[in-house]
Amino acid sequence: MVDLVLIGCGAIATAAHLPALAALRAEGLVNPVGVADANESVAREAATSHGVAHWDGDWRRLVERTGARAVSLCLPPGPNVRIAIEALEAGLHVMSEKPPARDAGAARRMADAARARPGQVTMIAFNRRFAPLYTRAMERSLALGAPHAFHGRFTRDAMGSAPSNTASDWITSDGSHALDLAIATLGVPSLVSVSRRTCGAGPDNVWTIQLHAPRGTGVVVLDFACGRRVERFEWSGPAYDVVLELPERAEWSARGAAVERWTAASLTGTDDFFTNYGFPDEYRAFARAIGGGARPDASYEYGATFMTIVEAILACRSGESRELSLAPEPRGAEERAGAGAGACAATEGERPATPGRAAAGALARGDAQAPRPVAHILQGAAASARFFDGDVLARAGERCDLRMRTDESGWRDAIQDAEAIVTGWGGVPLSPAELDRAKRLRLVVVIGAAVRAVSPDYLLGRGVVVCNTAAAIAESVAEHCLLLALAGLRRLTDLDAQMHRGGWPPQPASRLSLRAIRNRAAGMRVARMLRPMLRPVAARVDARIRRTGPGGGWSDLRGQIVGLVGWGHIARALARLLGPFECELLVHSSAATDAELAAHGARRAALGEVMASAKVVSVHSGLSDRTRGMIGARELALLQRGSVLVNTARGPIVDEAALLARLARSDVVAALDVYDREPLPRDHALRRLRNVILTPHSASSTPECQRRVGRQALETLIDWAAGRPVRGISPEQLAAMT
């Protein structure tokens, strides 16, 4: 339980923060041990009315008396900055009400103080990010793909010529939540456009703000001169649309499904506004981060970014646009869409990596001559040329003392000073003995999905954070899976080979037809003699072919049952690609949540049902002792005639001997990109079978995929060197990975 002192006892503190803290105290997660306010009598009244044991007019004295590890600041922007920095300097974890400051300069001072103390958690209390309706709708959205359009509207009762929110400090109102949700949904914008006008006399009080972000466009309308208060947020993405009216109602709509209508009470079991606006979940996230869980997205670093965007908006005259040069938000919607087993994206229980304290302090001070963290890129020259864009390398070089090691000789001795290592495809394996030389090592980023070559158990035991680039690989491999499935259903490679040999393959309905053979031999004397005997046999065979279809027949993908064995990045990407084919999806996985499956129109199924029911079975599990040989003779015997087994995961997941025996019946197709032994031996039995499609472990070998994985690896390094939290693979995830 985290002992916490609340500083500031205004209306929002007593109406929302203290009730939320009381709820979490009952859960054993957060213990509000004291309340501080400059007016000690106000602090005493707030504490006694909410069952808090201690109060004081001096927050430092109260923290010392209670031994609190964390503080929550419910203060105006001015004192918020001063006390936040003082609390960080005192070694405390700090949460601040929004906005973090009145200007970007003050917000940057808060971010600098946080960077210098990477072990302490900071958070800006944008509670709408944690509203149950928003988080539920966003979870459903990301299961289908990141949003590409956002519209937010915040209005307040008409204020006429004397609005409380002037052009210089309008951001202090709740309207800032609309801007924050746009950024949380689409990412940090690179361009803002503003239209502003005055309703009545006085300062501008009607704002329309357009945000152009890499993932899409958002529009935020702030109207402080209308007839009622409304908080309405809408976004859309691939095949879905969402409408929220916080804190009470939401609508979710996905293509081909009925519109779902939710109420906050149905999700939370209460009509408490502080619950439905997300205050308790906000504190839960803060407490879990203190306990070693995922760091909050809305950290003090984000606060500086947010206020920089605000300043750009305020500086725009009506009709103007301004370009922004800002680092991307550490964990936006796109990264959360990619989160799953083996991903870099954060899940609870993963540990953050931060640069060394001296380097972080130097970065916080903005000292251009200060030492930068040493990062080694251990890739061959050819691999480096394929993976890394010059602009991203340049940005990484600005943040790190970047050492490119393109020659294998000398790598092991050179990494003694490494604080970070980037390696993977084209790199060399790193044993514990070699890694033990790198005493300062804090971060290892692996290009690719598999991390076993860098001794991950040893690294995690040392507290080194290990990341991969599985999210960047998923789309390319999913395309390859779709290609193999279509090729297998249409027997593409077999037909192509016959055509190149000069043949004209017969249509499926006539293949293996004894009636056709009899008709072609009608002129033969022997055939005329055998005709009475052939007639009933041909009739039975033709009837069976019409009823079941030949094993070598051709099939559409549209409308078929498709089974996915495993539910990681690639399986989810393939499920999205299958959307237009209107397939029924069966998923065999203990990791998939019911909400994720429902969002893809899929349902959970046992392995036996997947193998027996699906026209296409695609394997996506990681290789472990549990999954090695999980698809054996018993499972392969369940495959229906004419079905296709696709494996782009790991060869040993499918028992090779059992697969060869099943393929010998010639009634199913195997489409393989991975094998027990790689490269596949020249004389391997799989090479001699017509009902096998073979590719050389090349599903992710496109130039586009190679650039994506390189960019993700370097962006992870840049975030780490900038002092932003970087989330690594947890021991639980590692146990399920190849």
Catalytic residues: 650, 678, 697
Concatenate the DSSP letters of all residues of 675-734 into one string: -SSSSPPTT-GGGG-TTEEE--S-TT-SHHHHHHHHHHHHHHHHHHHTT--EE---HHHH
User: What does DSSP assign to residue 3?
Assistant: E
Three-class SS state of 646: strand
420-424 and 260-263 beta bridge pairing: unpaired
234: nearest Cα among 130, 138, 142 = 138
Quick one: residue 512, left, alpha or beta (phi over 0 = left, psi -120 to 50 = alpha)? left
Concatenate the DSSP letters of all residues of 13-38 into one string: IIIIIHHHHHHHHHHTSEEEEEEE-S
543: nearest Cα among 535, 533, 552, 554 = 535
Record the tokens describing residue 291, joined without a space. Answer: 């306990």
Burial of 19 (0-12, 13-18, 19+ CB in 10 A): middle
In whole angstroms, give the CA distance from residue 76 to residue 447. 45
Tracing tokens 């604080």 back to the chain, one arrives at: 419
H helix intervals, 463-582: 470-489, 492-500, 514-520, 525-548, 569-577
In whole angstroms, give the CA distance from residue 480 to residue 526. 50
Distance separating the N- and C-terminal Cα atoms of the chain: 35
Three-class SS state of 191: strand
Using only the alpha carbons of the chain, give its radius of gyration.
Answer: 30
Tally of helices (H runs) and strands (E runs) in the chain: 30, 29
Q: 281-300 burial, b if ≥16 CB within 10 A, otherwise e?
A: bbbbbbbbbbeebbbbbbbb
